Amino acid sequence: MSQKASHPITRFEDCPMSDMIARRQSEECGCPEEEMVMRNVHVIIHMEPNGDGEAFLDAGDWVDEWHFESCADIDDLRQRTWDRISAMPWSD
């Protein structure tokens, strides 16, 4: 039995189960993109110039696409994606 939920990791950078894979610019539109693993989820985030952010998630048996509005920058988009993944009911 663990009580991890009472001590959530608040930053992607502090999670030993997470890793940055690549930082790049989109080949299609030149927007900043990051590819990473957040816990057991493969994530690509994409930051539009107008502040719209997208997160493409792939956990193998589960895929999803999230939209975030009014992101300050890609750091903000990454944090908001992390916060939402952290809030999900993982069973580890």
Does residue 24 interact with Zn ion by CB under 5 A?
Answer: no
Does residue 29 interact with Zn ion by CB under 5 A?
Answer: yes
Contact 86, 92 (CB under 8 A): no
Kindly identify the residues of this chain, within the stretch 30-69, that bind Zn ion according to CB under 5 A: 31, 48
Which residue spans within 1-92 are E strands per DSSP? 19-25, 32-38, 41-47, 53-58, 63-68
* Closer residue to Zn ion in complex, CB, 44/85: 44
* Closer residue to Zn ion in complex, CB, 17/29: 29
Residues that bind Zn ion (CB under 5 A): 29, 31, 48
